[in-house]
Amino acid sequence: MKSVLAFFLVSIASFAQTLPARIPPDEAAKHLSTSTRPKYPPLAEQARIQGNVILEIEIDPSGATSSMRLVSGHPMLVAAAMEAVRQWTYQPFDVAGHPGSVKTFVMVTFGNPSNHVAQDRAELVFQNDFWTLFESADGAVAKSDFRLADEKMAKAGETVSADSKGNRHIYERWRWMTAMGRLRMFEHKNDEAEQYYKDALATRENNKQEDGDTFEIGASLANLAAFYRQEKKLDLAHNHADRALAIFNKSFKSVGQSNPSLRQVYGRAVVQESLLLLEIAKDQNDSAQVNKQCGTLTQFQAFLTAEGQSTFHSQCQPSK
């Protein structure tokens, strides 16, 4: 069976995916057809909170905003900014000769935050430069051009190195370290790969919020678990995978039915990590652990891929 590591490295590190084209913010703004001004949240206005909210958005082939990710912004302003941007429409973008999906960054302004404009404009430039380089490395890996991937990833790393001791760009640093770990595995530089995965985990653990372990911490643990299984370090693999599974279960329960797409991501994470633990249990001839993971997979069977279903039926269903 193909290693379950692929889920985390493709879904989270995003190497070798077919990604939407990335458009610089100023260029994307020229395509903006309609823009809804955000409604100033009353409490924020009363408190005289001003500022910019920066979002990464995906624009579908019709020109509608299809998804978004928060980059920065005051918590009291974020929801209003997102609600406004959901209603924006763009002239369709030409991608390879026909309308296609694109990604870009936008900034939504509340009040007159003149003292933040230069800093926030610099953040827009940083975000565009970092992700353009990062995704160029994705494309190079997809073509097995590891020399070019190394070059692009080195430049992407330089963009986050200036504030590596601060609390800014934690997500970007984590993504970069995770991607570097996978790139080094492709290059069979496993010692370096392990260190990058450890650094990625430490970056998230050292900056986790009051709500405890995050999904990204679970993803880093899962990457290390799969790495250690490949290295035949089965006890380490089991310990990391077990911790990851607990985090994924918690994430799944917390989202409930309120967000179907996120529920799908968390459900898939649970089954992929349970499959890895099942593989480790088979390696260690641990029948109790096999039964435990088969129980988990039975509960989350709806999230199994066709390959996962095959493994589930061959390993967990009694033979007739």
Q: What value does the mean pLDDT take over residues 274-280?
A: 96
Orientation angle between helical segments 287-299 and 260-283, nearest 10 degrees = 160
Helix, strand, coil abundance in the chain, percent, nearest 5: 60, 10, 25
Between CA 113 and CA 77 the distance in angstroms is 13
Confidence (pLDDT) at 56 = 97
Once rounded to an integer, what is the mean pLDDT over residues 153-168?
80
Rounded to 5 degrees, what are φ and ψ at 44?
A: -65, -40
pLDDT at 164: 55
Burial track 196-232 (b if 16+ CB lie within 10 A, e otherwise): bbbbbbebbeeeeeeeebbbbbbbbbbbbbbbbbeee
Task: Please state, rounded to an integer, the average pLDDT across all residues of the chain.
Answer: 89
pLDDT tens, residue by residue, 175-198: 999 999 999 999 999 999 999 999
Residue range 43-72, pLDDT digits in tens: 999 999 999 999 999 999 999 999 999 999
Three-state DSSP class for residue 214 = coil
- Checking if the pLDDT of 288 tops 60, the result is yes
Q: Which two tokens stand for residue 118?
A: 């230069």
Q: How confident is the model at residue 319 (pLDDT cuts 50, 70, 90)?
A: low
Domains and CATH numbers, the chain: 5-30+113-316 (1.25.40.10), 31-111 (3.30.2420.10)
**Gap between the Cα atoms of 195 and 112, Å rounded:** 45
| Beta-sheet pairing, 98-100 with 102-110 | unpaired
Per-residue model confidence (pLDDT) at position 18: 62
- CA neighbours closer than 13 Å in the CB half-sphere of residue 44: 20
Average pLDDT over residues 197-225: 87
State the average pLDDT over residues 123-136.
95
User: Distance (Å, rounded) from C-alpha 60 to C-alpha 171?
Assistant: 25
Burial class (CB in 10 A: 0-12, 13-18, 19+), 153: buried
Please report the sign of the dihedral spanned by the C-alpha atoms of residue 56, residue 83, residue 107, residue 204.
negative
272: confidence class by pLDDT, cuts 50, 70, 90: very high
Q: For residues 190 and 310, give the distance between their C-alpha atoms in angstroms, rounded to a whole number.
A: 30
User: For 228-255, how does the pLDDT look when each residue is reduced to its tens digit (9 = 90+)?
Assistant: 999 999 999 999 999 999 999 999 999 8
pLDDT at 239: 98
pLDDT tens readout for residues 103-119? 999 999 998 887 778 88
pTM: 0.85
